[in-house]
Amino acid sequence: MQKGVNDQSICEFLVSLTRAEKRNYIFLSKNKLSTFVEWIDASRLDIN
């Protein structure tokens, strides 16, 4: 696991994904890609 990623933050991320009814919006920093986003299959991402 990367620095700053712990069981609690993983749990919170997964809960937020599963509570969405249709779509999730994940906001990213231009300088740093989230560890969680790296875990999502690229075919499921729509990056604008």
Can you give the residue range of the structural domain that contains 34?
A: 7-44
Closest by Cα among 25, 2, 20, 24 to 10: 2
Any domain includes 30: yes
User: What are the φ and ψ backbone dihedral angles of 9, each rounded to 5 degrees?
Assistant: -70, -35
Per-residue confidence (pLDDT) for residue 2, from 0 to 100: 56
- Tens of pLDDT, residue by residue over 1-48, are 556 788 998 898 889 888 888 888 877 777 777 788 888 888 888 876
Any domain includes 2: no
For the chain, the domain total comes to 1
Does the model's pTM come out above 0.95? no
